[in-house]
Amino acid sequence: MSIFIRGGTVVNADRAFKADVVCFGDKIIAVGENLDAPPHATVVDARGQYVMPGGIDTHTHMQLPFMGTVTADDFFTGTAAGLAGGTTTIMDFVIPDPKQSLLEAYHMWRGWAAKSAGDYTFHVAVTWWDDSVHADMGTLVRRHGVNSFKHFMAYKNAIMADDETLVKSFSRALELGAIPTVHAENGELVFQLQQDLLKKGIRGPSAHPLSRPPEVEAEAANRAIAIANVLGTPVYIVHVSCAESLEAITRARAKGQRVYGEALAGHLVIDDSVYQSADLEYARAHVMSPPFRGKHHQAALWQGLRGGNLHTTATDHCTFCAEQKAAGQDDFTKIPNGCGGVEDRMSVVWDAGVNSGLLTPSEFVRVTSTNAAQIFNMYPRKGIVAAGADADIIVWDPEGSRTISARTQFAKGGFNVFEGRTVRGIVSHTLAAGRLVFERGDLRAVEGAGRHVDRPAFTATSAAAA
């Protein structure tokens, strides 16, 4: 029942200090110097290592039915892979079909997620509008612990939300104390550019980034921010991939608007040369939206994270195997969009961010856990190593290294966008709700052990603070 983490350096978003940590049941009960281990406690030796809050991946898609197929990782395999990489909570998405009841979809996803090995919570997508959607949003916030609603500005003829839906849903979210989030890409422009490319006979995966240039993303980011400004709502932009979108966020924040931005581990380190590969299976495996970008966009995203205009890091973990991706072998618009990463985000962000001097360890904690907990109202239950918080803790070995590969990963799909990358800085132990679920390569994920995290609505005094 109790775990004693001895002799590490606790790193929280505000400071780092030497301390022991005592966990009992699913909670942290004490953090301090020279504590005594409770009788019969499991002792974890953290000397020379960092003790940090478990990662929160704000953006995953486990078991998602999408583009005619279903992602390779389900809620068990996906959350288990997360635990192996130091992510103890995922924020996934309920995505109702247009005309499907939000509540019906929510309960369907809750059923699928019951087998999760780590904690999980849901953003609910608003893909259409009528009075029932208005009512269901209220029920979700008041009775089901949902405080964020997602809007896809892309995926025309599928789940795209038009301006009417954005305006009505943002207003409703404000009324309820929930935060609207957006996938910012102009779906009309994407559709038009896709048709133009196909007409010219450009059908391979190299056409994917051509159909989704940065301006297409920036237009939607600016529009969402403008709508939020007029209505007086905060807004959170998922997977910001380009300098132009970041500029929109930076400008709005400078004027005092509450706008938050999320960067994906993949967008931070992978560039668009992957689409030029002669190996079409490899190129297809990288098809996700927004696409990987040129290197100057990566530099901008790092600056955004460091400067506080981007707040969270996520993965958009959405894995499809080669056979699934092959559905688009003759037409790039039919390649299921999505890539993995839930297992690797923490190490990739540490290696590229902290080892390079771009981020301090406390800034790392902020962008991998604390800001997510604050923006989505899970703090201080999540996002901090402190008495009273959930015992979701990672012991981080800054000198340990591993070479990322699909051959050794726990995640499904048979592919890894970070293949061959050697990262220094790895999780040695993961505690999830007080259970030691990962210890130096040994994953002990338990199906169904994860819990749904209820996230209360914001009130006037608890508006997202990051």
Comparing CB distances to ligand URP, the nearer of 338 and 353 is 338
Q: How far is the CB of 69 from ligand URP (least distance, A)?
A: 12
**Of the residues 288, 395, 423, 432, which one makes contact with ligand URP according to CB under 6 A:** 288
CB-wise, 61 or 429, nearer to ligand URP? Answer: 61
Residue 323 binds what, of ligand URP, Zn ion, none (CB under 5 to 8 Å, by partner type)? Answer: Zn ion
Which 3 state secondary structure label does DSSP give 186? coil
Instruction: Write out the binding residues for ligand URP, residues 55-94 only, by CB under 6 A.
Output: 61
| Identified binder of ligand URP from the candidate list 58, 63, 211, 289, rule CB under 6 A | 289
Residue 311 three-state SS: coil
Q: Hey, is 218 helix, strand or coil?
A: helix
Is residue 180 a contact partner of residue 153, using CB atoms and an 8 Å limit? no
Nearest distance from C-beta of residue 282 to Zn ion, angstroms: 16
Contact 182, 154 (CB under 8 A): no
The residue written with tokens 């997602």 in the block is 150
Angle 254-256-257 (CA atoms, 0-180°, nearest 5)?
105
Q: Helix 163-176 to helix 131-144 angle, to the nearest 10 degrees? A: 30
- At position 53, the amino acid (one-letter code) is P
Least spacing, CB of residue 150 vs ligand URP, in Å: 9
Work out how close the CB of 412 gets to ligand URP at its nearest, in angstroms, rounded to a whole number. Answer: 16
CB of 350 to Zn ion, least distance (A): 23
Pairwise CA distance, residues 361 & 106, whole Å: 36
Cα–Cα distance, 348 to 343 (Å, whole number): 10
Is the CB of 12 or the CB of 58 nearer to ligand URP? 58
Within 10 angstroms of residue 255's Cβ, the number of other Cβ atoms is 8
Q: Under rule CB under 5 A, which residues in 317-356 are in contact with Zn ion?
A: 321, 323
Judged by CB under 6 A, the chain residues 312 through 371 that form the site for ligand URP are: 316, 318, 337-338
**Residue 337 touches which of ligand URP, Zn ion, none (Cβ within 5-8 Å per kind):** ligand URP
For Zn ion, give the closer residue by CB, 196 or 323. 323
Q: In this complex, which beta carbon is closest to ligand URP, that of residue 58 or of residue 337?
A: 337
Strand 16-24 to 27-32 pairing: antiparallel
Cα Rg of the chain, angstroms: 21
Q: Which residue's Cβ has the minimum distance to ligand URP? A: 337
Minimum CB distance to ligand URP smaller for 58 or for 289: 289
> What is the distance of C-alpha 191 from the center of its chain?
26
Give least dist CB 155 to ligand URP, A. 7
183 touching Zn ion, by CB under 5 A: yes
Candidates 44, 115, 112; CA nearest to 80 is: 115
Residue spans of alpha helices (H) in 55-98: 75-84
Q: Considering only 16-24, 31-39, 298-306, 316-324, which stretch makes contact with Zn ion by CB under 5 A?
A: 316-324
The answer to whether 432 touches 451, Cβ cutoff 8 Å, is: no
With CB cut-offs between 5 and 8 Å by kind, which of Zn ion, ligand URP, none does residue 211 bind?
Answer: none
Nearer to Zn ion, 57 or 316 (CB): 316
Q: Residue 61's closest CA among 341, 410, 458?
A: 341
Of 151 and 183, the one with the shorter C-beta distance to ligand URP is 183
H helix or E strand, kind and range, residue 107: helix 102-113
Residues of this chain that interact with ligand URP (CB under 6 A) are 61, 183, 288-289, 316, 318, 337-338
Residues of this chain that interact with Zn ion (CB under 5 A) are 183, 316, 321, 323
